[in-house]
Amino acid sequence: MKKSKAEVGKKKIIEKTIDGLSENTKGSMCGYFILVLVYVAACIIVNTLSRSDKVLNISGAILPFSSFAGVLAALNNMCVIFMVVYYKKLGYFTALLALVIQMPVIFLTVINHHTLANIPGLFTDVFTIVAITMLFKNGEGVRRYQERLQEQALTDTLTGLPNRFACTELIENLIKRSEKFAIVFIDLRNFKSINDTMGFNVGNEVLIEIASRWRNVADSELTSTHDFIARLGGDEFALIIRKYHSNEDVLNTIKQYETALGSRLTIDGCDLYITASFGYAKYPSDAKTTDNLFSYADAALASGKKLGSSSNILRFSPDLLKKERIIDIERKLKLALQKDTMYFNLQPQYDINHKLRGFEALARMKDENGNVVSPGDFIPVAEKVGIVDKVDDAVIRKSTEFFGELIKKTGTDITLSVNVSVKHLMKNGFIDELREVLENRDIPANQLEIEITESIMIDSADKALKCIEDIKKMGIKIAIDDFGTGYSSLSYLNNFPADLLKIDKSFIDKMNISDSSKQYVAAIISMGHVMGYSVVSEGVEQQAQVDTLREIGCDYIQGFFWGKPMSAEEAEQLAMEECKLTTV
Ligand code: C2E
Ligand code: MG
Ligand code: MG
């Protein structure tokens, strides 16, 4: 029966896939020739030995040479079996030919030498032919069955295209061979609505039609590259592009697949308009593992939707991951603010004699799965998208509530420091907010401290200065955070109405490494004192740093060595213990 064109096409694709997968698994031709050689040599020796009347004398035991013929005949059979098992059709016909040729040779020997000694060899040949024919037929059956199984495992049943498994296997093979290629993820844009409105059958027809169009492109000479199209599942397809010279070639190939979608598909008399998005990543320039290539091609595809790109074809770039990450953090931030799940930790600050000075409230956030997102990640995003004031608000609201309660319970005179962004600081009504907080929570103004970063002070000088002066007038303390990381001039700093300088961790880290770094920190402390500021060192992690800071006159210490950021409950415990110590 003649096979249909589609069936032939499908067979071709599967063969291409299987070829791609089993490139290195075929039996070597060198082994085949060795088997043939051994076989021929053994035949000649058997023939000679069987007619020989010589004997071998081994310690008085007499062995006729002809008795070794049986051993070599067994070697012959072994060669024949190996040929059939390892070299399939080629091995079987070679063996058959060799055995059939031997028959007239045996007859001639019987006639010419008037001996019947070779007649059993004739029967051995016939029986061997029967045995290898059965072996070959059985092997063929198993091979056909294996092929069918392999075909099923590699094929997508709906469209007949190779499936995700085949695609992954091919990629792994290409990586093993270090062959460059591009993996393109394709997503049909409006497929879901077709499925929803017109039903699964029409959806399936669409997929079959698109697969067939793309298969034709892959099999044609339309592109300058070697392409392999697969269906990953649903409306997702993958295209592997090989043998390209430049990115231009990759783009041109993708465009051919885009064009093949056509302007419309007519299914069941209905005109459907289908478009697709393409996202691609290249091996080895973008990624070197299958997992990364898949996720990068997917990220490129998704970026088109998330970033609202006007192009249908997007290439992976490391920037994309960054943008995606920012978008993801922004989403988590907005969710946390909306559900009011933002919370705070408190990190203790001590004077140089290890007496508690107060706590710094630090914003904390978990995503919807309960994973902690670091403030080092979400604060810059909050600043970038303009919602950092909402973060500050949440932390100030919650931490002052806790602090007001703590004062009520213990009568403590320690300080609560809160971080405030410049956006929040300059917001109309911020001063009123602070006033309200102090009144509602019953917190004396001098027990609240606002931390603003040095760089912020410089960027928005005059307006910020006015706000800070107003805050200061209320009796609230002002700390300059991360001091040393900005470039504030001495004259500006001299006029700044702050109470405290917080030396950034980066200086404390280097302080004990070189004498000049130590002198630098010592100079900041002296300068701070001259200007009337107290000085806190941030990020103190070792006893040696505490010793040096004591020696050079630092006032306060904040760092993991004396206290990591802790929960409100732990902070309350710590404050209570301190109060007991002071009253004893
Ligand atoms: P920051 O205000 O300078 O806070 C100190 C940071 O240094 C905290 O990081 C703290 O955990 C960390 N730290 C303190 N001691 C050590 C130490 O010994 N070793 C090390 N490795 N780190 C130490 P965190 O909590 O990750 O906060 C990072 C930054 O995020 C803060 O730096 C602050 O600029 C910002 N931030 C935190 N909470 C808020 C907030 O409520 N509002 C605003 N606007 N910014 C906030
Ligand atoms: Mg701070
Ligand atoms: Mg800091």
Angle at the Cα of 469 (from 465 to 473), degrees rounded to 5? Answer: 170
Determine contact, residues 571/412, Cβ cutoff 8 Å.
no
Where is 103: in which H helix or E strand?
Answer: helix 69-113
Give the phi and the psi of residue 502 in degrees, each rounded to 5: -110, 110
Same-domain pairing of 298 and 332: no
Residues 38 and 120 in one domain: yes
Out of 126, 154, 182, a domain closes at: 154
Q: Among the atoms of ligand 1, which is closest to the Cα of residue 558?
A: 15
Atom of ligand 1 nearest to the CA of 421: 44
Q: Which of 329, 337, 359, 379 to mutate to test the pocket of ligand 1 (most atoms within 8 A of CB)?
A: 379
Q: Quick one: 472 and 510 in the same domain?
A: yes
Q: Looking at the structure, tell me whether residues 350 and 488 fall in a common domain.
A: yes
Residue 372 Cβ < 6 Å to ligand 1: no
Residues 511 and 401 reside in one and the same domain: yes
Cβ(28)–Cβ(82) below 8 Å? no
Residue whose CA is at the smallest distance from ligand 1 atom 8: 362
- Ligand 1: does its nearest atom lie under 6 Å from the Cβ of 578? no
Tell whether ligand 1 has an atom less than 6 A from the beta carbon of residue 422: no
- Domain final residue pick, 99, 122, 154: 154
User: Using CA atoms, how far apart are residues 88 and 27, in angstroms rounded to an integer?
Assistant: 10
Strands (DSSP E) found in 289-438: 313-315, 343-351, 356-366, 372-373, 415-419
Which ligand minimizes its atom distance to the CA of 504? 3
**What is the pLDDT tens value at each position of the chain, 584 positions in all?**
444 555 555 555 555 555 555 444 455 788 888 888 988 888 888 777 766 777 777 777 777 777 777 777 788 888 888 888 888 888 899 989 988 888 887 788 778 877 776 777 788 888 889 999 999 999 888 888 888 888 788 899 999 999 999 999 999 999 999 999 999 999 998 788 888 888 888 899 999 999 999 999 999 888 899 999 999 999 999 999 999 999 999 999 999 999 998 767 787 777 888 889 999 999 999 999 999 999 899 989 887 766 555 678 988 888 877 887 888 899 999 999 999 999 999 999 999 999 999 999 999 999 999 999 999 999 999 988 889 999 999 999 999 999 999 999 999 999 999 999 887 888 888 899 999 999 999 999 999 999 998 766 665 667 778 888 999 999 999 999 988 876 666 767 777 889 999 999 999 999 999 999 999 999 999 999 999 999 999 999 999 999 999 999 999 999 999 999 999 999 999 999 887 766 55
Smallest-distance ligand from the CA of 362: 1
Helices (runs of H) and strands (runs of E) counted in the chain: 21, 18
CA distance 438 to 460: 26
Does residue 65 lie within any of the structural domains?
Answer: yes
d(CA 558, CA 508): 11
- Measure 481 CA to ligand 2 centroid, in angstroms: 6
Atom number in ligand 1 closest to CA 453: 34
Judge whether 339 lies within some domain. Answer: yes
The Cα 80–Cα 329 span in angstroms is 68
Kindly state whether residues 560 and 425 are assigned to the same domain.
Answer: yes
419 lines ligand 1 (CB under 6 A): yes
Q: Domain check: are 376 and 446 in the same one?
A: yes
Q: With a 6 A CB cut-off, is 481 part of the ligand 1 pocket? A: yes
Closest to 291 (Cα-Cα) out of 156, 181, 161, 171: 171
Q: For residues 239-277, b (16+ Cβ closer than 10 Å) or e, as one string? A: bbbbebeeeebbbbbbebbbebbeeebebeeeebebebb
| Whole-angstrom distance, CA of residue 72 vs CA of residue 85 | 20
- Is the same domain home to 291 and 334? no
**7 falls within a domain:** no
Question: Which ligand has the shortest distance to the CA of 502?
Answer: 3
Domain assignment of residue 8, yes or no: no
3-class SS string, 18-79: HHHHCCCCCCCHHHHHHHHHHHHHHHHHHHHHHHCCCEEEECCEEEEHHHHHHHHHHHHHHH
What letter does residue 414 receive in the DSSP assignment?
-
569-575: long-range contacts, CB 8 A cutoff, minimum separation 24? 570/346, 571/346, 571/348, 571/359, 571/402, 571/406, 572/402, 572/406, 572/409, 574/348, 574/356, 575/356, 575/359, 575/406, 575/410, 575/412, 575/414
Q: What per-residue confidence (pLDDT) applies to 533?
A: 95
Peptide bond into 104 cis (omega under 30): no
Looking at the fold, whether 113 and 178 belong to one and the same domain comes out as: no
Q: Is ligand 1 within 6 A of the CB of residue 537? A: no
**Spatial CB neighbours of 509, under 8 Å, sequence gap ≥ 6:** 539
User: For 535-548, what is each residue's pLDDT tens digit?
Assistant: 999 999 999 999 99
* Separation of CA 362 and ligand 1 centre (Å): 6
Instruction: Sort strands 265-267 and 55-58 into parallel, antiparallel or unpaired.
Output: unpaired
Do 168 and 303 have their domain in common? yes
SS3 316: coil
Specify the number of domains making up the chain: 3
379 lines ligand 1 (CB under 6 A): yes
- For ligand 1, atom 13, name the residue with the nearest CA: 539
How big is the CA angle at 312 (ends 311 and 317), to the nearest 5 degrees?
Answer: 75
Name the closest-CA residue to atom 17, ligand 1. Answer: 539
Does residue 357 sit in the same domain as residue 498? yes
In angstroms, rounded to a whole number, what is the distance separating the alpha carbons of residues 477 and 498? 7
- The kind and range of the H/E element at 472 are helix 461-473
pLDDT at residue 388 in the model: 92
The CA 227 to ligand 3 mean position distance, Å, reads 54
List the one residue out of 144, 142, 160, 185 whose CA is nearest residue 17: 160
**Distance separating alpha carbons of residues 229 and 219, to the nearest angstrom:** 10
Beta-ladder partners of 537: 503, 557
Domain span at residue 25 reads: 21-154
Residue 2 lies in a domain: no
CATH of the domain at 332: 3.20.20.450
Q: Taking phi first (over 0 means left), then psi (-120 to 50 degrees means alpha), and beta for anything else, what does residue 26 get?
A: beta
Secondary element (H or E) of residue 226 = strand 226-233
- Residue whose Cα lies nearest atom 7 of ligand 1: it is 539
CA distance 264 to 387: 45
Q: Is residue 9 part of a domain?
A: no
In a domain, 16, yes or no: no
Ligand 1 pocket, residue 395 CB under 6 Å: yes
Residue partners of 384: CB distance under 8 A and separation at least 6: 326
> How far, in Å, is the centroid of ligand 1 from the Cα of 437?
23
pLDDT attached to residue 124: 81
Instruction: Tell me, yes or no, whether 346 and 294 share the same domain.
Output: no
Does the pTM surpass 0.85? The reply is: no
Q: What is the CATH number for 251?
A: 3.30.70.270
Ligand 1 atom nearest residue 541's Cα? 18
**Does 421 sit in the ligand 1 pocket, CB within 6 Å?**
yes
How many whole angstroms separate alpha carbon 552 and alpha carbon 512? 12
Q: Would you call 489 helix, strand, or coil by DSSP?
A: coil
Q: Is 375 in the pocket of ligand 1 (CB under 6 A)?
A: yes
The reply to whether 434 falls in a domain is yes
Q: Do 297 and 236 touch, CB atoms closer than 8 A? A: no
> Given 123, 154, 185, which residue is the final one in a domain?
154
